[in-house]
Structure 1
Amino acid sequence: MSIERLTGSRIREKRLDLGLRQAAVAEAVGISASYLNLIEHNRRRIGGKLLADIARKLGVETSQLTADADGDLLDQIRAAAGAFGTKSEVDRAEELSARFPGWSKLIAAQANRLAMLEERVQALTDRMSYDPQLAMSLNEVVSAATSIRSSASILVGQEDLDADWQRRFHENIHADSLRLGAGSEALISYLDAPDADVAVVQSPQEEIETFLATSSFHYPQLEKARGDVDAFVAGVNLSPPASALLRMIARIYQSDAVAMPRRQFAQAAQDCAYDPAALSQAFAVDFAAVLRRFATLSPSEGHPQTGLAVVDASGSVTFLKTMPGFRLPRFGGACPLWPIFSAFSRPTQPIMADIVMPGTDQTGLRCYAVADAIERPGFDRPPALRSTMLVLPDLPADSRNVIPVGVSCRICPRARCNSRREPAMDGVTLDTSL
């Protein structure tokens, strides 16, 4: 809906706020009540003297009836509609923002809050599953509790213990209780640590991805062959291991940029409806390079939002660009139905698959994946493979054979799944009949 057509809705809202009848306003400005009704329902355009007369009658400035809604708020409302269901009336977001700005802000705030909580839950799930510091803290708590239980059971079950043995077990229980208290406090402090503290224990990959995300995975200084990779890495405050990984990523980025210049690639991507296979042929580059290059296109320039993942043959994520509805556990444990893992069974063969995530909104994604060798093959030596996957939002209308996937078995609600390896934390059990 255009901004001009929103003017009628604003006129109607202001008239109702003032308690004026439609006929009275129409008579004051010299038009019929039926014509004003058409204007208020956005069925007639309005401007010039008539708009000025109506604004004067309503006691407002003309700009208050024609001003555009807040652009950031509109973007947030549209993003919320896309993230939480396809049945929302996205085409009426401007009208909603203009007529009900307060409710619109509430919708945007709740959508942002939900997205933040989902990210937090996933981050905590990853920490519970794979964080060595957390594993050590949990082991300390469990060990102390087990020791206390063992000593207590002996004291309760043996009535003929002499005083010396009783004293010894009491001392053991006291020492273990102190250890349990200290371990519990350390565990609570770690879990409740703010994001600034959690960042201290980030892995090198997480350090890099946090840095890259600040510039939408696009760096102009690496777009040319003569760009200084070492100077680029030196200008970033990362740990030595993260800097070494960033140098490798920067060189791959620069190689992709030289083979597929940004302006030409962006235009070609639009011309071929973002088809990776067509782009691979057009620029004479491998499929994985095209998928990586996609991740540098910005939605602010009219391109679709993208997610990107790279995993090694063990299933560990070595690079990750997340997006709403898409995230993979970093150190294994991800749903094996993702195309990025299926690609390992067909090296060098590109895969296109449509998937749907669990949940009330049933988020749908289109995925492109390919597994390729990272070194030249040799006789009697298994190839070192990596798999790359590009994720695009929204399934095409003609999508068929959609694959139901999850994040990881620990939090997946799909009870009947041939690929489930362990029960979910919410009580979903393994179905051995499958």
Structure 2
Amino acid sequence: MAVAALTGTRVRERRLALGLRQAEVAQAAGLSAPYLNLIEHNRRRVTPEVLEALARVLNLPPEALREEAGGAVLEGLRAAAAAAGEGTGAELDRVEEFAGRFPGWAQALMALERRAVGLERAVEALNDRMTHDPHLSASLHEMLSAVSSVRTTAEILTEPGEIDPDWQARFLRNLFTDSERLAAVSEALVAYLDGSEQAGVQGIASPQEELEGWLAGRDWLLPELEAGGAGEAALLAETGMLASGAARAMAADWVTRAAREAAALPLAVLEEEVARAGAAGPDPLRIAAARGMPVLAVMRRLAMMPGAEAGLVICDASGTLTFRKPAEGFALPRFGAACPLWPVFAALGRPMSPLRVEMATAGRGARRFRALAWCELRHPEGMGGVELREAAMLFWPVPGSAAGAGEVVRVGSSCRVCAREDCPARREPSIMG
């Protein structure tokens, strides 16, 4: 295994930081001093056993000296510098030197960056929930109503002067009833926010979320459909266990359609197409033309195949997201409007025309994604009826690409939690400023 430039530098800087001579380290690791000297100057290939011995002597985890760890450290440090902004003056040309001399500080800085990214994602999710969650909104309204009733009754009972005994008894009954209602709403709200078993059904805000939760629980895979009719029947029986009737109906429709699409585009054929496409990624339009099936059907198959890193969002003509399968690093809003710069919305205005767009997420932990968008038309009522539009965006991370490289469209999750300050499509100020 080859030693990266960062490996030799790290060995030397760690030895110097510990105040050890080269000969001492070499002897403790069972090496010759000239051999260790060549390693420190990145001029020798070493075996994993030698790296294990050096890590033991230098009191470092073995992973810290491996070649693959070097690239991850450098990439993490560059990401942290990019997230902090150009004004910090981080010397990117000296990042290898920093990581080699101070591996502990490098790991600490990366850990802080990961934590910051995680906290921003949590803020996004909480803001999304607080702003648009219908169950939460209804619960808070009910709680405020109960509090107002309790306060009004208490004010009446504390006013000077005597109250007729019958009216006093009525007010006390109202006070007791409103207090019970307030306690019940509070308990239900706490259980809902905690995600406890008591709030398992309440935590699902819509049948769509219940369907997506069921699919997410299966890791977005329906392998039974690859086996034919028996698998479809088993899945239909499983959908009958969902909580709401609407969700059961939606899941049954999804399974039935997915079974048709699996029969039209078998998994073996799909995997062959993906392998043939290579790094450029599969072309749903070409696959759809070859198999004689809708482009959106191919996009669904690509997003739901085993091992797929792709995310998928589908919307109707109003721009409402009707399906959301996330991809790592690309946040999808649970409620409310999404980022208007997503290619899926541009596709709505260009039906039957393919869009291929490079996207970069805004804010910390920015990543680059390749997106394919397509809009299909339907006329279920014939020539004189309405026209229905359905658009989809298939997207997956571009490996090894910096978020700022090349021509990209910078997008977010939704305006409220987007860190991009210069966005021309912003609807409202962001809380992430």
Q: How does 1:331-350 map to 2 (within 5 A)?
A: 331-350=335-354
CA separation in 1, counterparts of 2:265 and 2:74? 31
CA separation in 2, counterparts of 1:344 and 1:59? 59
Number of the residue aligned with 1:385: 389
Deviations 1:121-159 (A, max 9, x none): 444444434444323211112223444566678899x98
Q: Does 1:329 align with 2:333?
A: yes
Note the C-alpha offset of 1:182. 4.3
CA separation in 2, counterparts of 1:412 and 1:316? 19
Contact 2:73 2:106 in 1 (8 A): no
Number of the residue aligned with 2:324: 320
State which drifts further: 136-145 or 176-185. 176-185
Q: Does 1:186 align with 2:194?
A: no
Q: Which amino acid aligns with 2:185?
A: G
Note the C-alpha offset of 1:322. 0.7
State which drifts further: 200-209 or 73-82. 73-82
Give the SS at the match of 2:266. helix
Q: Does 1:206 align with 2:214?
A: no
Contact 1:355 1:367 in 2 (8 A): yes
Q: Which amino acid aligns with 1:188?
A: V
Note the C-alpha offset of 1:65. 7.3
CA separation in 2, counterparts of 1:256 and 1:406? 35
State which drifts further: 37-46 or 254-263. 254-263
Number of the residue aligned with 1:288: 296
Number of the residue aligned with 2:233: 230
**Structure 1 residues 393 and 84: alpha-carbon distance in aligned structure 2, compared to 1, 3 A threshold:** farther
CA separation in 1, counterparts of 2:215 and 2:241? 12
Contact 2:191 2:199 in 1 (8 A): no
**Structure 1 residues 374 and 179: alpha-carbon distance in aligned structure 2, compared to 1, 3 A threshold:** same
Contact 1:352 1:369 in 2 (8 A): yes
CA separation in 2, counterparts of 1:177 and 1:335? 42
CA separation in 1, counterparts of 2:64 and 2:420? 48
**Structure 1 residues 152 and 314: alpha-carbon distance in aligned structure 2, compared to 1, 3 A threshold:** farther
Q: Does 1:371 align with 2:375?
A: yes
Contact 2:55 2:62 in 1 (8 A): no
CA separation in 2, counterparts of 1:298 and 1:327? 21
CA separation in 2, counterparts of 1:337 and 1:261? 33
TM-score where L is the length of structure 1: 0.68
CA separation in 1, counterparts of 2:404 and 2:11? 39
Number of the residue aligned with 2:43: 43
Number of the residue aligned with 2:87: none
Number of the residue aligned with 1:269: 277
Give the SS at the match of 1:346. coil
Q: Whose RCO is larger (CA < 8 A, sep 6+)?
A: 2
Give the SS at the match of 1:385. strand
- Percent of pairs with identical residues: 35
Q: Does 1:257 align with 2:257?
A: no
Number of the residue aligned with 1:431: none
Note the C-alpha offset of 1:206. 3.3
Q: How does 1:21-420 map to 2 (within 5 A)?
A: 21-23=21-23, 32=34, 36-46=36-46, 107=110, 111=114, 120-147=122-149, 163-164=163-164, 171=172, 176=178, 179-194=181-196, 197-198=199-200, 201-202=203-204, 203-214=206-217, 216-223=219-226, 228-234=231-237, 238-239=241-242, 240-241=248-249, 243-255=251-263, 257-258=265-266, 261-270=269-278, 272-277=280-285, 279-280=287-288, 285-296=293-304, 305-373=309-377, 376=380, 378-394=382-398, 397-400=405-408, 402=409, 404-412=410-418, 419-420=425-426
Contact 2:7 2:42 in 1 (8 A): yes
Note the C-alpha offset of 1:309. 1.0
CA separation in 1, counterparts of 2:239 and 2:262? 17
Note the C-alpha offset of 1:323. 2.0
Give the SS at the match of 1:325. coil
**Structure 1 residues 187 and 220: alpha-carbon distance in aligned structure 2, compared to 1, 3 A threshold:** closer
Gapped regions of structure 1 (runs ≥ 5): 429-434
Q: Which amino acid aligns with 1:141?
A: M
**Structure 1 residues 333 and 164: alpha-carbon distance in aligned structure 2, compared to 1, 3 A threshold:** farther
CA separation in 2, counterparts of 1:248 and 1:413? 40
**Structure 1 residues 38 and 346: alpha-carbon distance in aligned structure 2, compared to 1, 3 A threshold:** same
Q: Which amino acid aligns with 2:234?
A: A
Q: Which amino acid aligns with 1:244?
A: A
CA separation in 2, counterparts of 1:427 and 1:267? 40
**Structure 1 residues 182 and 269: alpha-carbon distance in aligned structure 2, compared to 1, 3 A threshold:** same
**Structure 1 residues 338 and 20: alpha-carbon distance in aligned structure 2, compared to 1, 3 A threshold:** closer
Gapped regions of structure 2 (runs ≥ 5): 84-89, 243-247
**Structure 1 residues 341 and 151: alpha-carbon distance in aligned structure 2, compared to 1, 3 A threshold:** farther
Q: Which amino acid aligns with 1:313?
A: A
CA separation in 2, counterparts of 1:273 and 1:408? 27
CA separation in 2, counterparts of 1:376 and 1:84? 51
**Structure 1 residues 133 and 218: alpha-carbon distance in aligned structure 2, compared to 1, 3 A threshold:** closer
Contact 1:317 1:331 in 2 (8 A): no
Deviations 1:212-231 (A, max 9, x none): 34554344443366674223
CA separation in 2, counterparts of 1:84 and 1:287? 39
CA separation in 1, counterparts of 2:390 and 2:53? 68
CA separation in 2, counterparts of 1:333 and 1:146? 32
Give the SS at the match of 2:265. helix
Note the C-alpha offset of 1:253. 4.3
Note the C-alpha offset of 1:169. 10
**Structure 1 residues 237 and 386: alpha-carbon distance in aligned structure 2, compared to 1, 3 A threshold:** same
Contact 2:371 2:393 in 1 (8 A): yes
Contact 1:204 1:242 in 2 (8 A): yes
Give the SS at the match of 1:261. helix
Deviations 1:319-368 (A, max 9, x none): 22112332333454223332222322222222233444432444443322
RMSD of equivalent CA atoms: 5.3
